[in-house]
Chains A and B, each alone.
Chain A
Amino acid sequence: MSAVALQMVCVAGLLGLAALAIVLSRSKIATPVIYGATLAVSLIALTGTLRFLLSGAADATTLTLPVGLPWLGAHFRLDALASFFLVVINLGGASASLYGLGYGHHDPAPHRVLPFFPAFLAGMNLVVLADDAFSYLLCWEFMSLASWALVMAHHREPGNARAGYVYLVMASFGTLALLLAFGLLAGPAGDYGFAAIRAAQHTPYAATLVLILMLLGAGSKAGLVPLHVWLPLAHPAAPSHVSALMSGVMTKVAIYGFIRVMFDLLGEPSWPASVVVLFLGSITAVMGILYAMMEKDLKRLLAYSTIENIGIVFVSLGLAMAFQANGLKAAAALAFTAALFHALNHSFFKSLLFFGAGAVLTATGERDMDKLGGLIHRMPFTSFAVLVGCVAISALPPFNGFVSEWLIFQAVLQSPELPQWALKIMVPAVGAMLALAAALAAACFVKTYGVTFLGRPRGTAAGTAGEVDRFSLAAMFILAALCLLAGILPGLAIDGLAPVATQILGSRMPVQTGQPWLSIVPIAESRSSYNGLLVMVFITAAASLAVYVIHRFASRALRRGPAWGCGFSDATPAAQYSAVSFAQPIRRVFGTLVFHARDHVTMPPPGDLRPARLRIELHDLVWNGIYAPIADVVGFSSTRLNRLQFLTIRRYLSLVFATLVTLLLVLAIWS
């Protein structure tokens, strides 16, 4: 069986599971059966694609099914680029299924989740496999609708219905943009096969329009600012393992769409296009993490952090476009590989963190960080896994987040070789934005971990929580291990990505596996190299030594004593740092500009025993500046146009008549 046929069989299996889930919906065995079978199918698909990718992915295999448009059929193709994203999807799918085996038991309405979960995975697989515009759009819509159904799984919870509505509107808008983009790509001849689009010549005018439409279409799905508004609403509304899939995997499918069109179908990128991508990417990275910093809902914070990471990936893709347009092949391969590597890493640690948030939600029923705290004592294993995720997403060595961001900065450092002054000046500025985003991300995840897991419990739910089940823990620990592995053996990942870079750019990064001591060398030994293993050994040795020295020479015995309460004799848990107070310095520095943040302190007059109150005012400028006016205009005009529904027959006829005469007049005057 060819590789693509195996994938299609797996997709058919997932769709069959969706049907089976409808049949089984109310039965007790549905949850273990469906998640277990999804896990098995995802693992088969993962093995198939990994083997294909690691064997060099030299020959793309295609498959045509006699469905879809009669003269076109449905084409599917497995090449290096698709196989990489299939690895991301099926790895995410497998870990989410494993997590679901345990988490699904706590779901109040499993029949609303089970049919759509395998269907959603099947949709994402199909989008990546599609080899003509029609199948692509169809599968894209299928994926969107399946994920919408999952967002609406708990539709009675406050806010979820609105989240689903906003998601549906944005998804339709995105698909419209994609439809127009593919229409432009197919040109007047109207051949929608990707092979024909790839062979055709595209005018610069069409290429510009396609860039804008792809930024709107794929960007809205991925969460580019200012198209991100649905993402922090919809991703947290879904059950946690689905949130992990949406944040960790579906955004990658959107990135796949962008790469497929901009790098593969459209031919050589142009450097002005890269300026736009770099600009949007860096804004997205900084805005995303600033939003996350202001957030105190655990899952929404993670969703905002997804926006930041998408921004980082887009910056890296923009760098790849800039280098490729100028023929700097080695630098382009570096930036492109870094983008893919970061996408892979983000799928690891974001899934892990969403699983952790799901575990906290199961154990305490709370998503609000200001009601949590002290969970490290009650959920030690979850806390450890989430700590790994937080360290990885904060880009600290020796974990994977550091390696991919380091590679991106290596690409930024290649910018002096670019001939255009606009890029020469812009790329270092973008690098500075990335550095800012990385630092803010570290602060953000110190806040997340510290407020949720450290300190003392802020409520009874957090105080009485217990550890979660084994399946959830297994999923989290596997992902944590992957974060560490990708951090200390990045050379393997980089070499694994080489076929993708070769296919898309025609060049690849130097072979890493031959380097001594498992180092990675992105350009040349003389310029820079990184060795994750060595860093880990050093960190472990230094930490062990420090622990030994402290315990040996400072205080041998464990002593428990009263904590110093800074002068408060009776400190309540509410006196601890909260998510909001931890973010205050950053809100003071950036919030005034970005969120028009204001602090209002209400002091009671002397003698009054009421407590003083601090009220924080934040404005989402993107929503207020773009979406609210659009909603107002739509609301106003639909109220006005509503009268058209109640006209007399003669007036309707008059309208038709007037339209006809007007069009004829236009024709008479202009032709």
Chain B
Amino acid sequence: MQMHSLAFDISHTLAGGLVLISLMMLYQDRLYSLLNVFALHALVLSLSVAWQAFIQDAPHLYVTAVIALVFKAIVIPVALHRIVKQLGIHRDIESAVGIGPTMLAGMGLVALSLVLMLRVTSDADPLAREDLAFALSVVLLGLLVMVTRRNAVSQVVGFMSLENGLVLAATGAKGMPLVVEISVAFSILIAFIVIGIFLFRIRERFDSVDVSALDDFRGERR
């Protein structure tokens, strides 16, 4: 009983930490710091997945944790660092919505997902319930990052953190097959590659990865 409660507390803490780091992403206004926060996000995710593997006694989840650690916490942030450096990308993040309103919206989203998930899944396992609520918050915050930033790199980061939320939800539920997680991980990797190539192309053509350059090119008023 004591063990169960401890297991619950630790996984709760890790998932809550993930939400907290998602909120931290909202107020980063430098690209490097945003990338660092994202690496931290992926690190906490891999810890959380590993803890789930331990308490669910599901060894395949360790593979997921390692994938999260290697790809998301190391490879992708390092690669993005190098892209930013090589391309000489302007390191400010221009946000479409101010920091204050974004933070308020983020808090609202967390509240919404908690209210919703706790009510909808009232007869589920308490651990899975909390996990799902946090995972939905992470997904929504990732979307919020994508929506409120004009910079293409930060949109990529938002997308990746959204995917972290999906992995959190998947591992919180018992019995998710490994193949699902691996396919999700690979699709993310491919998405990353595609988006990376697009970044190069955008940069080549417009000397900037601010997506508003694209809009100007199309003759759009903003």
Q: Is B184 an interface residue (CB 8 A)?
A: no
Contact B112 A650 (CB under 8 A): no
Contact A668 B96 (CB under 8 A): no
Cβ distance A414 to chain B, nearest Cβ, rounded Å: 59
Contact B140 A648 (CB under 8 A): no
Task: Assess A650 versus B211: contact at CB under 8 Å? Given A657-B143, A657-B144, A661-B140.
Answer: yes
Q: Is B41 an interface residue (CB 8 A)?
A: no
Task: Assess A668 versus B116: contact at CB under 8 Å? Given A648-B222, A657-B147, A661-B140.
Answer: yes
A650 touches which of B96, B115, B120 (Cβ 8 Å): B96
Cβ distance B214 to chain A, nearest Cβ, rounded Å: 7
Q: Which of B175-222 contact A (CB under 8 A)?
A: 211-212, 214-215, 218, 220, 222
Most chain-A CB neighbours within 10 Å: which of B109, B116, B212? B116
Could you say which residues of chain A place their CB within 8 Å of the CB of B161? Answer: none
0/1 string, B108-144, CB within 8 A of A gives 1: 0100110110011000000000000000000010011
Contact A660 B112 (CB under 8 A): no
Q: Which residues of A come within 8 Å of B, CB atoms?
A: 646, 648-650, 653-654, 656-657, 660-661, 664-665, 667-668, 671
Could you say which residues of chain B place their CB within 8 Å of the CB of A667? Answer: 116, 120
Bound Cα distance A319, B152 (Å): 70
Contact B112 A668 (CB under 8 A): yes
Bound Cα distance A135, B78 (Å): 58
Could you say which residues of chain A place their CB within 8 Å of the CB of B112? Answer: 661, 664-665, 668
A-B contact pairs, 18 of them (CB 8 A): A648-B212, A648-B220, A649-B214, A650-B146, A650-B155, A650-B211, A653-B143, A656-B143, A657-B144, A660-B140, A660-B143, A661-B112, A664-B112, A664-B116, A667-B116, A668-B116, A671-B119, A671-B120
Bound Cα distance A667, B212 (Å): 35
Q: Is B72 an interface residue (CB 8 A)?
A: no
Contact A668 B211 (CB under 8 A): no
Cβ distance A391 to chain B, nearest Cβ, rounded Å: 69
Q: Which residues of B come within 8 Å of A, CB atoms?
A: 96, 109, 112-113, 115-116, 119-120, 140, 143-144, 146-147, 149-150, 155, 211-212, 214-215, 218, 220, 222
Bound Cα distance A667, B136 (Å): 14
B147 touches which of A650, A665, A668, A671 (Cβ 8 Å): A650
Bound Cα distance A660, B146 (Å): 14
Is chain B's binding surface mostly helix, strand, loop or mixed?
helix
Contact B113 A649 (CB under 8 A): no
Task: Assess A650 versus B113: contact at CB under 8 Å? Given A660-B143, A667-B120.
Answer: no
Bound Cα distance A657, B115 (Å): 18
A648 touches which of B119, B149, B214 (Cβ 8 Å): B214
Task: Assess A654 versus B147: contact at CB under 8 Å? Given A661-B140, A667-B120.
Answer: yes
Contact A648 B215 (CB under 8 A): yes
Bound Cα distance A667, B112 (Å): 10
B113 touches which of A653, A654, A656, A664 (Cβ 8 Å): A664
Bound Cα distance A648, B211 (Å): 9
Bound Cα distance A415, B222 (Å): 70
Contact B215 A668 (CB under 8 A): no
Bound Cα distance A340, B55 (Å): 74
Cβ distance B14 to chain A, nearest Cβ, rounded Å: 24
Could you say which residues of chain B place their CB within 8 Å of the CB of A660? Answer: 140, 143
Bound Cα distance A657, B141 (Å): 10
Bound Cα distance A653, B120 (Å): 26
Bound Cα distance A57, B147 (Å): 68
Cβ distance A651 to chain B, nearest Cβ, rounded Å: 9
Bound Cα distance A236, B209 (Å): 60
A661 touches which of B109, B212, B220, B222 (Cβ 8 Å): B109
A653 touches which of B119, B140, B146, B222 (Cβ 8 Å): B146
Could you say which residues of chain A place their CB within 8 Å of the CB of B220? Answer: 646, 648
Cβ distance B155 to chain A, nearest Cβ, rounded Å: 8
Closest to B96 in A: A650
Could you say which residues of chain A place their CB within 8 Å of the CB of B218? Answer: 646
Ordered nearest first, which 3 A-B pairs have the shortest CB separation?
A668-B116, A654-B147, A657-B143
A668 touches which of B119, B146, B149, B212 (Cβ 8 Å): B119
Bound Cα distance A664, B140 (Å): 11
Cβ distance A658 to chain B, nearest Cβ, rounded Å: 9
Cβ distance A603 to chain B, nearest Cβ, rounded Å: 58
Could you say which residues of chain A place their CB within 8 Å of the CB of B96? Answer: 650
Cβ distance A370 to chain B, nearest Cβ, rounded Å: 55
Closest to B105 in A: A661
Could you say which residues of chain A place their CB within 8 Å of the CB of B215? Answer: 648
